[in-house]
Structure 1
Amino acid sequence: MDKKPSTSKGSIFCSLRYGLALIMHFSNFTMITQRVSLSIAMIAMVNGTQQHDLLNASTEGPFVDTLNNPIKKVNAGVSVYEWSPETQGIIFSSISYGIILTLIPSGYLAGIFGAKLMLGTGLLVSSLLALLTPLAADFGVIWVIVIRTVQGMAQGMAWTGQFTIWAKWAPPLERSKLTSIAGSGSAFGSFIILCVGGLISQALGWPFIFYIFGSIGCICCLLWFTVIYDDPMHHPCISVREKEHITSSLAQQSSSPRRSVPIKSMVRCLPLWAIFIGFFSHFWLCTIIITYLPTYIRSVLHVNIRDSGVLSSLPFIAASSCTILGGQLADFLLSRNLLRLIDVRKLFSSLGLFLPSLCAVALPFVASSYLTTIILLILIPGTSNLCDSGFIINTLDVAPRYASFLMGISRGFGLIAGIISSTTTGFLISQDSVSGWRNVFFLSAAINVLGLVFYLIFGKAEIQGWAKERPLTRL
């Protein structure tokens, strides 16, 4: 494996692999906006009468839909739904149920049929379902849950396919940079949807949040299917120099087809379990922030939907910046031989799990301070995303042959955490708002710390024996 890439600075920044990272950044941007749309729209969907009272909005008498969910009509024909916090928690977590259903099988299938098809199809289906969400809400809460679950299944196909692509496109010393550029699209998308979602809701009505970002997703699909290829060998526009650089950098990694997945060896592998537990801990707190941040800001800081959206978007500026800067710093430490690979992975995992835990524990004690609360809420997603250069890409280190399959399992653990944390948060804050939020943050911090300790003890960064190349004649 080459320790120092042979490409020049100019060839790096004009290369197709960095163009691929930007397109994947846009794809992640699209998917997260479709996922988070409901978080900002929910404020208007369940509190529309409160938001429009000041505008002298006339309301009609409540009527009951086909699933006995009371609905009120406010001005401009926008519906308002009487959904309890528990019901909202189930709706929020439904997309995670969908993702987890396809996460593992899609990761395996992406290695067989190609990530381009899996990711592009998932993005297209997710975008079309986003356009149908307002109609589903009028039919009843069950239809919203169904739509969000199927949308999650489509996004599960898209998320895991990315690592199949990077296993073939990313030289080892550029993995942190490339994956962080692509992954930062999620943080940037969260920033945009939370920033403009409230404005769209006030100006046009909450359904247009889904219409606009669903349409953007459809446009992104055209770009994806036109430009992206599964590996550099088949891309018609790649330069000979870049192709040789990528293939020589990956020369010691397996590129031959595999006949089976060594499940038993994976189950017994503690370094893999360290990654899985890290994902569970990381996604627990991140899901709460992404899902409930607008609700928390509105209930604690008592701001309207427009300001709630803008304030909720600020943390994701830090998240997007930290993702990219963390990737740059990680690869700098590796390229200069300042730290070993495992030291870099554990350093960024520690920063990404411990620092947001401190901020989460401090939040309930500074609720009376507007500025301090906002600062801590900004730091939580920002510091959490440092994990992108830690255990999140660790599967590419320990088992590059099975990176997509293992990423599916890893995100499965993360999605299980998201399902439990969303439902638990809805239950806790429905009992008592003040003590409920305190318990939510304390529990999240405890889970983060336990996950970090497990990863620090068992995490590894070398290719495991069961993931190395073996002759195909041995069955």
Structure 2
Amino acid sequence: MIKKQKLQGTSTDDWKQYHAFTLWFPPRCCSARFNLAFLMFLGFTVVYGLRVNLSVAMVAMVNSTDPDPDGNHSVTNACPPPSGRENTSNNFQQPAGVPHYNWDSETQGWLLGAFFFGYLCTQIPGGYLAGHYGGKFFLGLGVLGTAALTLLTPLAAKWGSYWLFALRALEGFGEGVTYPAMMAIWARWAPPLERSRLIAMSASGGSFGAFVALPLTGYICQMLGWPTVFYICGGAGCLWAVFWFIFVSDDPRNHRRISKEERDYIIKTVGPQGTGHGWSLPLLHMALSVQLWAIIVTQMCSNWAYYTLLTSLPTYMDVILHFDLQSNGFLSSLPYLGSWLMAWLSGVMADALIERRVFSVTVVRKIFTFVGLFLPSVFLVAVVYAGCDHILIVTFLTLSMTTGGFSAAGVFINQIDIAPRYAGFLLGITNTFGTIPGVVAPIVTGYFTEDRTLAGWAKVFWVAAGINAGGAVIYTFLGSSKLQPWALTEEERAEAERKRNSEPKNQRKKKIRPDGSLST
């Protein structure tokens, strides 16, 4: 049933973005915008499957993470196998003829980080082009290209580690456009009162993809051999791309299956911000924006811990905890199940708080960001003090990733608050900086854990926890969700000028900026 949603008139604070019209509120179930969110969710599920499969497959590819293949390496402070287990992941058998490679921990760290070297290169140009042309083509092509390249992974590994490094970097190059393109699409499709849930639902496909891919990769490696993992994941990405290009449109105005009611609702609520940004950009204003830098620094801090676990957790489960390959994949995936569920919940909660005016949009973003960064830090520290208690370690790691899902409705969608029509480009900027930890963290982890000791892994968790907590503090003091003056369209500036001229002179200074834009 359709219900009427009363939205308040224009104002000059956070609520101006969210309460601008009195209109009919079309149902969400089976709507074009939620179908789009679900298809995006599946796309990012595939994307993260393509990204993390190497983390588990690496255990099978080398069949031992010991940097000294001759067995002369002295290991101190290593944990005993889980209770009731005599076999470790190093003793499993794969199908006959499956190749194995003698890569030390440093080489593995470089290979796990290779993806992010390419990923860094296309974030900003991808976001810029998606913001101008629309994100459908760039998101679809990013997933399709990465999937096609994944099919070549066994061949590249056979040729050598340098070839595999280059291939993974090229996969990252193709996938770099996906998240900026997603944000550019939602800038045109997401009504302000539904931004949190739509974007969180879409992006949570990453956590769900890790949850599915990690145990599935372990099972496939043991049953069919590690090369099959890359054939299956690559094929799934190619299949998804077919549905994406058939059913998705860049703009609700040209969607073939959307109802007139829903189209009008989206266009009216999104307003002038739901258009392309053209070729020119206010780069100087962006570079000087404290709000944007708060997002950049906070995402870098958060991503350090996230990418550390994403790329290195299977190795930790193997080297320190000695879980067999199937258990390794399953237990490594549990944190991402919690993160996925919490991301969905946080999106719904954030929209409810905003819609009911419990808190301002800025306060909502800060609450979800602080909880989503500080609590994971606490649980990472708890992992260090858990010693070799397998149950406690898995519990704390799961709680760390689960509570991290809160930030899905916080800093990670803040770009669309401060500058909706530039959201794709801004996400390209913030994700570029946010990807630097993806390059550095696996390499640092490789150096810290070269001796395969608890002390080395304790350093990994302490560093991740400290950086994460620092990000929570920075965003709490500097974050904002106010629409920035440099993001206003000409239409919005003209409206601001009209209001300025219609108000008494003694009130103008309180509500109008010197440049004629709305005061915040």
Per the TM superposition, whether the score is higher than 0.5 is yes
Q: Deviations over 1:120-146 (max 9, x none)?
A: 111111001111001100000011011
- Rounded to whole Å, the distance in 1 between the matches of 2:89 and 2:438 is 32
Aligned position for 2:135 = 115
Aligned position for 2:264 = 244
Q: Which letter maps to 2:294?
A: A
Shift of 1:449: 1.6
Q: Deviations over 1:238-276 (max 9, x none)?
A: 000000110111125363643411111111111100000
Shift of 1:81: 0.8
The 5 A counterparts of 1:162-181 are 162-181=182-201
Which of 124, 145, 153 is the equivalent residue of 1:133?
153
The 5 A counterparts of 1:335-414 are 335-414=355-434
Query: Which blocks of at least 5 consecutive residues in structure 2 are unaligned?
Result: 1-16, 70-86, 495-514, 516-520
- Identify, as 1 or 2, the structure richer in helix: 1
Q: Are 1:202 and 2:226 an aligned pair?
A: no
Contact 2:131 2:421 in 1 (8 A): no
Contact 1:46 1:82 in 2 (8 A): yes
Q: Deviations over 1:130-185 (max 9, x none)?
A: 11001100000011011100100110022210001000000011001101111111
Aligned position for 2:8 = none
Shift of 1:406: 0.5
Shift of 1:299: 2.0
SS of structure 2 residue aligned to 1:77? coil
SS of structure 1 residue aligned to 2:215? helix
The 5 A counterparts of 1:40-439 are 40-47=56-63, 75-251=95-271, 253=273, 255=275, 257-439=277-459
Q: Which letter maps to 2:487?
A: A
Aligned position for 2:467 = 447
SS of structure 2 residue aligned to 1:251? helix
Contact 2:118 2:172 in 1 (8 A): yes
Q: Which letter maps to 2:102?
A: E
Query: Which blocks of at least 5 consecutive residues in structure 1 are unaligned?
Result: 58-73
Report the structure number with the largest CA radius of gyration.
2
Q: Deviations over 1:325-378 (max 9, x none)?
A: 010100011111101100000000001110000011111110321211111111
Shift of 1:422: 1.2
- Rounded to whole Å, the distance in 2 between the matches of 1:52 and 1:411 is 35
- Rounded to whole Å, the distance in 2 between the matches of 1:252 and 1:424 is 45
Q: Which letter maps to 2:306?
A: C
Distance 1:137 1:242, change over 3 A: same
SS of structure 1 residue aligned to 2:100? strand
Shift of 1:195: 1.6
Shift of 1:52: 8.9
Contact 1:297 1:312 in 2 (8 A): yes
- Rounded to whole Å, the distance in 1 between the matches of 2:467 and 2:297 is 10
- Rounded to whole Å, the distance in 2 between the matches of 1:5 and 1:16 is 21
TM-score normalized by structure 2? 0.84
Distance 1:456 1:92, change over 3 A: same
- Rounded to whole Å, the distance in 2 between the matches of 1:360 and 1:255 is 42
Shift of 1:433: 2.1
Contact 2:122 2:177 in 1 (8 A): yes
Shift of 1:321: 0.2
Superposition CA RMSD, Å: 2.0
Shift of 1:2: 5.6
- Percent identity between the aligned chains? 37
- Rounded to whole Å, the distance in 1 between the matches of 2:89 and 2:411 is 46
TM-score normalized by structure 1? 0.92
SS of structure 1 residue aligned to 2:381? helix
Shift of 1:385: 1.9
